[in-house]
Chains A and B, each alone.
Chain A
Amino acid sequence: MSAHDIAIEPHHGGTTKLFAMVWVYLLVLTGIEIFLAYERLAVVLMLVILIGLSLVKSALIVAYFMHLRFERLGVFLLLIPAMVFCICMMLIWMFPDSLRLMELRPH
């Protein structure tokens, strides 16, 4: 087969069972988040836990529902690192300042 014959075929990765399992995991993680809302944790701790769980959930969605796990590695490298870098650049300005302002608040 020559390089010109590389077909752009749709990816058939994933079975109904796998997708149903991912759906169950997503529901369980959402359930944990809602349970945490009952616990009335401190704001920063709550924010960190919720964002951590949301990142896990979005990774599941991107990897399985959006099929990124079944694409070539090059697609991942094209898309994700640049996005993460941009988000980190936004966070660099925002978070130290918001935490500083929170510390300045009258308690």
Chain B
Amino acid sequence: MSHMEAEGIVQSNWSGGTSPFAMNSKKLGMWLFIISDSLTFSALLIAYAWLRLATPNWPRPFEIYPAIAFSSLMTFALLTSSLTMVLGVAAANRGDRKKAVRYILLTMLGGIVFVVLHATEWYKLIVVEHVTPWSNPWGTPLFGGTLFGLTGLHMLHVTIGVIYLGVVAVGFSKENYQADDVEVSGLYWHFVDLVWMFIFPMLYLMSVNPN
């Protein structure tokens, strides 16, 4: 019993010595990073939406099959990896290390599937369709710049996320890391999924071939 309570003084959460957010500093740090990163992606997406609405000859090259079917499959892979991640965090919190590591490995698999599918799509766009950040066969060159810029930054996040999860999986199975480390890596992974929930409709579904 603290000295303050002994004197019958109600102690505020904010008077020091307590954790007002009931959250460790690693998790709070990851949340703050996520907020700042979400503003980076917001700025890029808003700039893209501005260009998309204001430019008359914006290309709409994507057919339902194969391009949209392909990117839908990528969305499915990422969403499912988020589910395995959240189950991994739950297992880690229960203290079931083996199961948690298995779920994290499944999450990494989802991320790898996403990156491989995405790289295949980039290959098709660059090599077959001759789209570059400064030119494309259909219309304004801005199309390639925004597409590669946004999906490239997102793909970088997914790649870093897969590596991060790999480090956490190894560390957690060796008991170097604890359940809260798994939870913090899960926050990052869900954020990467969340960003794709905006990139997929705005870049792909907004550019479906109208004919």
A residues sitting closer than 8 Å to B (CB atoms) are: 2-4, 6, 8-12, 14, 16, 19-20, 23, 26-27, 30, 33-34, 36-38, 40, 43-44, 46-47, 50-51, 53-54, 57-58, 61-62, 64-67, 71-72, 74-75, 78-79, 82-83, 86-87, 90-91, 94-95, 97-99, 101-102, 105-106
Pairwise interchain contact B93-A61, C-beta atoms closer than 8 A:
no
Known contacts: A6-B19, A50-B202, A78-B21. The answer to whether A19 contacts B86 by CB under 8 A is yes
Query: B5 to A61, Cβ gap below 8 A?
Result: no
In the complex, the answer to whether B49 meets A38 with C-beta atoms within 8 Å is no
Shortest Cβ distance from residue B84 to the other chain A in the assembled complex, whole angstroms: 10
Q: How far is the CA of A62 from the CA of B193 in the complex (A)?
A: 10
* CB interface residues, B 188-211, toward A, < 8 Å: 190-191, 193-194, 197-198, 200-202, 205-206, 208, 210
The 3 A-B pairs with the shortest beta carbon distances in the complex, nearest first, are A101-B54, A50-B201, A2-B2
Neighbouring B residues of A10 by C-beta, 8 Å: 93, 179-180, 183
Report Cα–Cα, A9/B180, bound state, in Å. Answer: 9
- Contacting pair B197 A90 (CB below 8 A): no
In the assembled complex, the CB of A67 is this many whole angstroms from the nearest CB of chain B, namely: 8
**Chain B nearest CB, measured from A87 CB (Å):** 5
Can you list 12 A-B pairs with a CB-CB distance of less than 8 A? A4-B17, A16-B87, A23-B79, A23-B80, A51-B201, A51-B202, A57-B197, A58-B194, A66-B191, A71-B21, A71-B23, A83-B35
- B residues near A74, Cβ cutoff 8 Å: 20-21
Residue of A54, A95, A105 touching B50 (CB-CB under 8 A): A95
Distance between Cα atoms of A36 and B35 in the complex (Å): 30
Task: Note all chain A residues with C-beta closer than 8 A to B47.
Answer: 94
Cα–Cα, bound, A72→B22 (Å): 7
Which B residue's beta carbon lies closest to that of A77?
A: B21
Determine the distance from Cα of A71 to Cα of B76 in the docked complex, in whole angstroms.
Answer: 27
Which residue of the partner chain, among A34, A43, A50, contacts B72 with CB atoms under 8 Å? A34
B residues near A36, Cβ cutoff 8 Å? 205
Question: Given A26-B79, A40-B208, A87–B53 Cβ distance below 8 Å?
Answer: no
19 more CB-based (< 8 A) A-B contacts, given A8-B22, A46-B206? A6-B18, A8-B19, A16-B87, A20-B83, A23-B83, A26-B79, A30-B75, A33-B200, A33-B201, A33-B205, A46-B205, A47-B49, A47-B202, A53-B201, A67-B183, A87-B42, A94-B47, A95-B50, A98-B52
B113 interfacial by beta-carbon distance below 8 Å:
no
**A98–B86 contact, CB under 8 A?**
no
Q: Are A82 and B17 in contact (CB under 8 A)?
A: no
Whether B128 is near chain A, meaning CB under 8 Å from some CB there, is no
For B180, give the chain A residue with the smallest CB separation: A10
A4 to B16, CA, bound (A): 9
In contact, A47 and B53 (Cβ under 8 angstroms): yes
